[in-house]
Amino acid sequence: MITGELKSKLGRVWDAFWSGGVSNPLEVTEQITYLLFIKRLDEIQTRKDNQADRTGKPDPSPFFTADQQDLRWQNFKVRDPDVMYGIVEQGVFPHLRSMGGDDSTYSSHVRDARFTIPNSNLLAKVVDLLDSISMESSDTKADIYEYLLAKIATAGQNGQFHTPRHIVDLMVEMTQPKPDDEVCDPACGTAGFLVQTASYVKREHANALLDVEQQAHFNASMFHGFDFDSTMLRIGSMNMLLHGIENPDIRYRDSLAESAAGESERYSLILSNPPFAGSLDYEYTAADLLRVVKTKKTELLFLALSLRLLKPGGRAAVIVPDGVLFGSTKAHKELRRILVEDHKLDGVVKLPSGVFKPYAGVSTAILLFTRTDSGGTEDVWFYDVQADGFSLNDKRNPLLPEGRLGVRPEAGALSEAEHAKNNLPDTLSRWFDRDDSERNRARTEQSFCVPKSDIVAQGYDLSLNRYAKRPRYLTAGSRVTMADLLDAGLLTEGTQLAFEHAGVSYSARVKAGGRLELAGGQKFPSPNRAAAAAVGEAAIDGWRAWALEDGTTLDQLRQQFLDTPAVGIPSPDATDLANHGLGTSPDFDAALQPVTVQRNRATRHTETTEGPRQIQSGNEPARDEDEDAPVVGLTVGDLPSARGGVVYVSPSATFDEALTRMVINDYSQLPVLSGRKLSGAVTWKSIARARHANHNPPFSRAIVQAREVSYSQDLIDILPMLAEFEFVLVRSQSNEIAGIVTASDVAAAYGAMATPFFLIGELDQRLRRVLASSVEFPEVQGLCDPEGNRSIEGFDDLSIGDYQRVLENKEAWERVGWSLDRKIFIERLDEIRQIRNDLMHFNPEPLPENSTHKIRHMINVLREYGN
């Protein structure tokens, strides 16, 4: 841990560089690295000299010859600043470059060393500062380097090279490096993963390192790092030296462009956070990687490379962007299939999006896998890290005392309140239980296991939200709202919120009633809707995105609200169950009776960050609490019939009983249940076939197999099954038969969604024809784009907002020639424009019931007046 005094000294030298005109953090770090290396050479030479004096044998390969003694740190540091500057510039650095013929890792990285300290006063300050720091302790040297690397990161330049130390520690601890491992980082940057691996091995396997052969392996053949940035190689190499590894294999290598044949199956452990912001042309990508997966995306290529580098039985922990987990390209799917089917995918750890701030806000995950070449995936362990001990904003302030941060906090286990701010110790603990108690945890928990069969059924999708079941956050039977947080004093009106998505920052302010106002003035009733509108995407979990200045998310405030005793839980059998991902609707004890079951208001048992738009039938009340559910596509459970209960018959029923229930309910099929056990179903077709084969058959002859699906399955995935079998029975989260879905239910659902899109399309075409026949295009162009900032080249480039702008112009309106009130017409057109925006952004709140009617009627008006 860096002390206040040491930090103060380093801060002064950093400021001295800045005021001296050297402001690039990489350059500052590089120059300090050279000086530390020079100091280290002198220390090593001093030890060699002492050994030569003791043994009487001269040093066979001294760093400094007899006529080069003035180049040693201990000698030039006492010289006048101007003289010192000349010695370092004209003597020391040329000497460093001439050492490139040596076989050591370090010499290969100083061949092109440049001295860029601009003046003698700055050099004297830096030399004096470094000389005043005792370098005997490797911890002190390491602390200096940690400080410098943190400076690179927080300066916002080349931040991709610096993975936060506590995340590196988590990955190292999860993979448990052994002293006989060969560890590789194919995109090593500053060598953070290798350094922390070395620290782990020294701590956990100290006795093993007493062995001479093991010590030699540790110093010369255990650690391997590649990079194609020479500056990073110098910094990484020095980082290893300062952490006590004498000769690591840190070398120049374009990992994705060079064939991995020479490195294939060489390493037993890979730890890496490879760059994932670009793509490569095929001609510049190693052919052996393209044979694994043909893609231009660097994140996929690095995963393929990791598999190539690992020995059979070797393990890896690699940071990947979220897109790797659910990307739909052929390459994405194939690589995930390879990990699951051909090797052993052990775990997926979802990291919060603020982990790499302030220089990146990307959402990432850690993939943990073992190369087997023969499969082995049974259950994949997932963990949703929601807090890493630091605020998730650009400041990244610690949320706990230093001793309670990181993977292994001091003074025992974290309390529940501390865990809410630092999930890393729990992540590690549960990782080691993944083959035991973790298999029994519900998917509403922060961690859980998913069988391979479920992952295969989801097309090898590895996104945690595909499988997690989120609690509904209920209190007294209603969803927690922003207004609740205001009333509880957890938020105040005027509070500023912010989040970052895909490198762009968004802000909002809390208004009266819990509404959120975006920077442009738009107000929204819920965090999800505000986030979706800000980003222009549907799949945004606003509760977890929007955060206070200290990094506390709205979701964390919501949890605080629920944990407050004053809130109270009056109905633990319903509300509390819902908060844990369980539900009591429908009431199965009542629903599973041989009578027609009344359908209650549709309720979502769970919500996910990729949850669908809620579907309402015409006879259901408008949705209230559930309007905030994040959205993407439909799941089976979104259909009212999937949760409306079932009318059924028993296996001992008669044909008359089954036919009567089907006739009076206008059903085409009935489940056959024995208690709660599903025996199958009867349909008009199965009854007809049974009676055709035998005029007096037993009822059992009419029972056919019934297909079952989970209520959480994507609706689109069961369409082939519906096409073949015409209906499916739906199992709820508690594994009960909760409802039945038919092809007509699906047609109605998709029809309800599609109708407004078709109507908007027709309205758009009719408005375009009206304007094209009435107003000259140059005039339209001038009204829609007076500044000339848009590319409007024809009427086809116009939007409903453009039509509105044109018709708001009095002269253009008169040319259209309608005997209608312009203001009233424009008001209705603006309403339709807002409806259209909700549709295009997949607003999670269902359209008001009269929206479709308004669009239809406007089309009728245009038919009457527009021709």
The predicted structure's pLDDT at residue 382:
97
Mean pLDDT of the 717-741 span: 79
Query: Which range among 67-81, 241-255, 636-650 has the greatest average pLDDT?
Result: 67-81
pLDDT in tens, 663-689: 998 888 899 988 767 888 999 999 999
Interstrand relation of 344-351 and 379-384 (parallel, antiparallel or unpaired): parallel
197 compared with 725, residue with greater pLDDT: 197
Yes or no: say if 527 and 482 are a contact pair by the CB < 8 Å rule: yes
840: pLDDT strictly greater than 90 = no
The predicted structure's pLDDT at residue 310:
95
C-alpha closest to that of 316 among 465, 146, 185: 185
What's the pTM? Answer: 0.58
Interstrand relation of 267-272 and 183-185 (parallel, antiparallel or unpaired): parallel
d(CA 376, CA 455) in angstroms, rounded, equals 14
| Cα-based distances in Å from 404 to 195, 421, 483 | 22, 10, 33
The predicted structure's pLDDT at residue 340:
95
Partners of 270 in the β-ladder: 184, 316
171 CB contacts (<8 Å, ≥6 apart)? Answer: 193, 271, 317, 319, 366
C-alpha closest to that of 323 among 304, 300, 346: 300
Provide the residue type at 216 as one letter. A
C-alpha closest to that of 677 among 725, 741, 732, 735: 735
The predicted structure's pLDDT at residue 258:
66
Yes or no: say if 359 and 159 are a contact pair by the CB < 8 Å rule: yes
d(CA 375, CA 485) in angstroms, rounded, equals 49
d(CA 605, CA 733) in angstroms, rounded, equals 8
pLDDT band at 703 (very low <50, low <70, confident <90, very high): very high
| Cα-based distances in Å from 129 to 8, 136, 150, 242, 352 | 11, 15, 19, 17, 38
**Dihedral sign computed on CA atoms, order 661, 666, 670, 673:** negative
Q: Is 294 helix (H, G, I), strand (E, B) or coil?
A: coil
565: pLDDT strictly greater than 50 = yes
Yes or no: say if 343 and 324 are a contact pair by the CB < 8 Å rule: no
The predicted structure's pLDDT at residue 471:
57
d(CA 423, CA 427) in angstroms, rounded, equals 6
Side-chain-facing half-sphere of 183: CA atoms under 13 Å: 31
Mean pLDDT for the chain overall: 79
388: pLDDT strictly greater than 70 = yes
618 CB contacts (<8 Å, ≥6 apart)? Answer: 849
Q: Is 713 helix (H, G, I), strand (E, B) or coil?
A: coil
d(CA 511, CA 508) in angstroms, rounded, equals 9
- Lowest mean pLDDT segment, chosen from 480-484, 506-510, 780-784, 842-846: 842-846
Yes or no: say if 564 and 477 are a contact pair by the CB < 8 Å rule: no
The predicted structure's pLDDT at residue 583:
40
pLDDT in tens, 184-194: 999 888 888 99
d(CA 607, CA 711) in angstroms, rounded, equals 12
pLDDT in tens, 307-331: 989 999 999 999 998 888 988 788 8
Yes or no: say if 740 and 718 are a contact pair by the CB < 8 Å rule: no
The predicted structure's pLDDT at residue 563:
65
pLDDT band at 277 (very low <50, low <70, confident <90, very high): low
The predicted structure's pLDDT at residue 36:
79
pLDDT band at 634 (very low <50, low <70, confident <90, very high): low
pLDDT band at 260 (very low <50, low <70, confident <90, very high): low
Cα torsion through 518, 523, 529, 531, rounded to 10: 10
The predicted structure's pLDDT at residue 573:
41
261: pLDDT strictly greater than 60 = yes
618: pLDDT strictly greater than 70 = no
d(CA 725, CA 128) in angstroms, rounded, equals 82
* Burial per residue of 752-791, b for 16 or more beta-carbon CB atoms within 10 angstroms, e otherwise: bbeebeebbeebbebbbebbeebbeeeebbebbeeeeeee
Yes or no: say if 543 and 554 are a contact pair by the CB < 8 Å rule: yes
DSSP state of 748: H
173: pLDDT strictly greater than 90 = yes
| Cα-based distances in Å from 716 to 610, 636, 721, 735, 745 | 14, 9, 10, 21, 13
Mean pLDDT of the 518-522 span: 84
Q: How many residues does the chain have?
A: 867
d(CA 737, CA 43) in angstroms, rounded, equals 75
Q: Tally Cβ neighbours within 10 Å of residue 334.
A: 17
The predicted structure's pLDDT at residue 203:
92
Q: Is 7 helix (H, G, I), strand (E, B) or coil?
A: helix
- Lowest mean pLDDT segment, chosen from 13-17, 143-147, 738-742, 764-768: 143-147
The predicted structure's pLDDT at residue 320:
92
C-alpha closest to that of 89 among 70, 123, 115, 107: 115
Phi, psi of 250 (to 5 degrees): -110, 110
Yes or no: say if 810 and 785 are a contact pair by the CB < 8 Å rule: no
pLDDT band at 74 (very low <50, low <70, confident <90, very high): very high
